[in-house]
Chain A
Amino acid sequence: MKLKSCRHENELRELMARGQWPDACPPELRAHVSGCRTCGDLVLISEAFQHARVESLAAARPVPPAVLLWRAQLRRRNAAVERIGRPLLGAQIFACAVALFAAVGFAGFEARSGVAWLTWSYWQDWFAQLPQAAVAQWDSLSSGSLAGSAWSWMVLVPALATLVLLGGVAVYFATDKQ
């Protein structure tokens, strides 16, 4: 379709915008519009749309602006809370993974001594020996003999993970403050 515009189109548009069509416009222009398809279409469509606009403006029932301000407040607050909660969720997932890793490691280590660890008496003994074992582990840690002791890793890995976690939280709050 070829674009055909009329040189009177802009003039006609301005007259209609000012409300001067058809009464306050030159008779030559009126005569032109009756013979020009482009200008005739423009007048027909603009009048129909302007009437429809007046009717629609009267039909609109807008809610009070305070309702929209309140809804926007809720949405922004929820978005902000979600944004802040995202690193915390990451930290929780990380903590769960570390706990799971420690539990699996512990179970693996204990499984080496057979199925005895599934009995109640085994755990009674285990808890009774725990204070001495902790002192022994501390001694082994401080003496540097880590490689031979799986227990050391059981203590070291969660401790390092906790440090990393706390460091991440500290960095997050520091950058957030900036």
Chain B
Amino acid sequence: MAPTEKRARMSWEFALPDALLHTSPGGAQDAAAGACDPAMENEAFAAFYSRSSRPLWAYLARSSADPALADDLMQESYVRFLCAAGAPALATDGEAAARLYLFRIATNLLRDYWRRPRAASIEEIPEEFFAVRGQAAQTDAQILLEPAMRQMKPRERQMLWLAHAEGYSHREIAKVMGLNAASVRLLLFRARRKIAALLRAHSADDGRKS
């Protein structure tokens, strides 16, 4: 099946003239549109969104360590997912495939963000960065994991989150990150060793302080 045939037409697209909807000379979307109930399609997306948006935000926020950036990239990921001609259809390909595709878009957006040269002005930095948070208000996970995550490379953070928070297999991580499974296995093994050592060191420091 061609990539364009996978995507069903959304309800809002029925308001557009056919000439505006052709994604290919074959006009494959028209064939898919006939079999699709737009209200159901929107409901399916809303359900998928309600199940996947929080995990995606968590992934982006923990990988980037910037909640505001995670908000922006999450929205952009979904918009790109909806616009992509080759995106897996929820009805036929299943939610797992759609979720992997979505995480892949988010991973690419993060990579683009990190590659982009920029100079942040002081107005652009969110206020949370300057807020002094009391140690008592922080949870165990924040106290232990955040300093360790800051010392990891972005790619390691992404891999560790996908493996240990989302529970993805090596093959799934490879799909999301555009690597091969053997590389993921090795990189993840190293990242796990590194973060385990950091977590142990931080907890030992905390033990000595208390």
B interface secondary structure, majority: helix
Q: How many A-B residue pairs have CB under 8 A?
A: 123
Q: Is the CB of A77 within 8 A of B49?
A: no
Expressed in whole angstroms, the Cα–Cα distance for A3 and B21 within the complex equals 51
Expressed in whole angstroms, the Cα–Cα distance for A77 and B74 within the complex equals 21
Q: Which of B22, B58, B166 has the most CB of A within 10 A?
A: B58
- List chain B residues, Cβ under 8 A from A178: 25, 27
Whether B53 sits at the interface, judged by CB under 8 Å, is yes
Once A3-B185, A69-B10 are accepted as A-B contacts, the answer to whether A55 and B139 lie under 8 Å apart by CB is: yes
Within 8 A of A (CB), among B137-192: 139-142, 144-145, 160-161, 164-167, 185-186, 189-190, 192
Q: Is the CB of B57 within 8 A of A60?
A: yes
Q: Which listed residue, A1, A40, A61, touches B189 by the CB 8 Å rule?
A: A1
- List chain A residues, Cβ under 8 A from B165: 49-50, 52-53
Q: A48-B164, A59-B67 are in contact. List 11 more A-B contacts (CB 8 A).
A: A41-B192, A53-B165, A55-B141, A60-B54, A68-B78, A71-B75, A73-B12, A76-B13, A77-B16, A84-B19, A175-B25
Q: List 12 A-B contacts (CB under 8 A).
A: A3-B186, A42-B192, A45-B192, A52-B165, A53-B55, A55-B141, A57-B55, A68-B49, A68-B79, A71-B75, A73-B12, A178-B25
Residues of B within 8 A of A (CB): 10, 12-13, 16, 19-22, 25, 27, 42, 45-46, 49-50, 53-55, 57-58, 61-62, 67, 71, 74-75, 78-79, 82-83, 139-142, 144-145, 160-161, 164-167, 185-186, 189-190, 192-193, 195-196, 199-200
